[in-house]
Amino acid sequence: MIKKGVAVLSDPRTNKGTAFTFDERKRLKLTGLLPPVVSTQAQQIERVLTNIRSKPRDIDKYLYLSATQKRNERVYYSVLMHHIEEVMPLVYTPTVGLACQQFAMNFRESNGCYIAWPDKGNIAEVLGNWPEDDVRLIVVTDGERILGLGDLGSNGMGIPIGKLALYCACAGIDPAHCLPIMLDVGTENEAFRQDPFYLGLRQPRIRNEGYHTFIDEFVEAVKVRFPRALLQFEDFSTPNAVALLERFHDKLLCFNDDIQGTASVALAGILAATRITGTPLTDMRFMFLGAGSAATGIGDLLAKAMMREGLTHAQACERLVFVDSKGVVVIGRETLSDHVRPFAAELPTMSFIEGLSSFKPHALIGATGRPGLITQEAVKLMCETNDHPIVFALSNPTANAECTAEQAYQWSEGRAVFASGSPFGVVHINGDIRVPGQGNNAYIFPGLGLGVLQSGATRINDDMLIVAAETLAGCVSEHQIESGCLYPPLSEIREVSAKIAVAVGESAQAAGLCCRPLPADFEKHVRAAQYDPHY
């Protein structure tokens, strides 16, 4: 049944606002419901940009864009697609961190599905209330480890909403196929539990068997309600993130961006960096600041990439060292988490700086969520053994980065090869320009998701993550490499995502993971499937 009148204007998917022509207004009974002027979509886009540029605070810009998304979906995605470098930091990191912290206070209307602990036993019924039947992509969080901000409880819903916006804008996933989900099992954030405006459960988190039973019921409900969906786990605590990926990766089409997406985008940056350093991947040594799921996820994928180039697993692991709050992670420790144990080094107990001096890594990779851990002393030690030391400060948001781009370049006198998780500006040093690369997961997960969905892949394996990284690294031009940038411009991200999608789909087919043969011209098929928000 064709919607008419106010119903058309109330649906962000069908609403064109002032862009409805006079003929459309007559046919859809909109005459008199809109001002008597027909705007072009370009004029509407410019109106949105003028409004957000006039607002002094990024959080106000975020809220205005969110309102635009709920009013006119196609204008929202057109703004995001065509002005990605300006708008993405407002839609996702770093602004989304503050948006999550203030999510309850700024709540306007629902934009996803909330499944809470009291829904246990009825999760399938709750999912049945979602109005779209053909969901292909779900991003779910339990809010326990939002970026580097910690436990934000149900306020963490801002993360799935933001991630799915990037899937749509950066890769062309149809918004109608997307579903953000918040699993509310309580929060340890006492300030939120005492906040009268907080919209989540005011109780400590459900743990252990109860938690895993709840997650199992949720996953089974997803498999029944949305059998074609890719399920992405997002911002779970390290123990749960690792456990859930291990539990489900062979049982359904699922993905953890914090572990796998971060690993793939970091690997891409390292592969691009070899074009500057001239050191082959298999000859490099890596030190990680942090031993959480993000750091060990990178290490695991790095090891597998080196194994593809001829090293044994033991040889690859010898080239990786991890540092946590207790110092270098070594075999002699009394307690080691399962995800860290394979990387425990055969070294004596030592501090970060002692380990840096002894191990002499080619790359120092920060994934801690703690600012300032990469110090001037550390960078200068790296410079003693490397002409171009690789320094990655991957933690989000910007305030949590282990060091800034300017610090890395100044402390190394411009020699460092730097990348970060959040954006940093161009740095002028010694008469040269350095363009810090942003190792944003948005370079990987949208294209990966597009390739998986368009190829009919039934699982995501490590080879698909590695070819995604290789494809991304191959998209970095020589001009960008010369300026020290390890990632292509965000303005090219939709094209990059299409290339990654093709490579991922072909890798899935080669592994026998596709439920159907790929179309003869798979690249053409992928590009034709990309969502176009233009009227």
Active site residues: 92, 163
Beta-sheet strand order (sheet of 390-393)? 327-328, 320-324, 286-289, 363-366, 390-393, 417-420, 437-438
When computed from its CA atoms, the radius of gyration of the chain, rounded to whole angstroms, is: 23
The answer to whether the beta carbons of residues 172 and 186 sit under 8 Å apart is no
- Rounded Cα distance between 362 and 532, Å, is 43
Contact (Cβ atoms closer than 8 angstroms) between residue 287 and residue 355: yes
Give the closest residue to 328 by CA, choosing from 281, 380, 285. Answer: 285
Torsion of CA 166, 87, 467, 502, to 10 degrees: 60
491 secondary structure, DSSP code: G
Give me the amino acid identity at 219: V
Q: What H or E segment, with its residue span, contains residue 310?
A: none
Enumerate the H helices of 148-292 as residue ranges: 158-166, 190-194, 208-225, 238-248, 262-277
CA quadruple 48, 53, 57, 62: dihedral sign:
positive
Q: Are 313 and 307 in contact (CB under 8 A)?
A: yes
The C-alpha atoms of residue 162 and residue 174 are separated, in whole angstroms, by: 15
User: For residue 378, what are its two tokens?
Assistant: 């550390």
Cα–Cα dist 435/486, whole Å: 9
Give residue 361's Cα distance to chain centre.
Answer: 27
Dihedral-angle region of residue 438 (phi above 0 means left; psi in -120 to 50 means alpha; beta otherwise): beta
Q: Is the link from the previous residue into 94 a cis peptide, with omega within 30 of 0?
A: yes
The span from the CA of 159 to the CA of 233, in Å, is 11
> What is the chain's length?
535
Axis-axis angle for helices 84-91, 58-71 (nearest 10): 100
Measured CA to CA, the distance from residue 424 to residue 182 in angstroms comes to 30
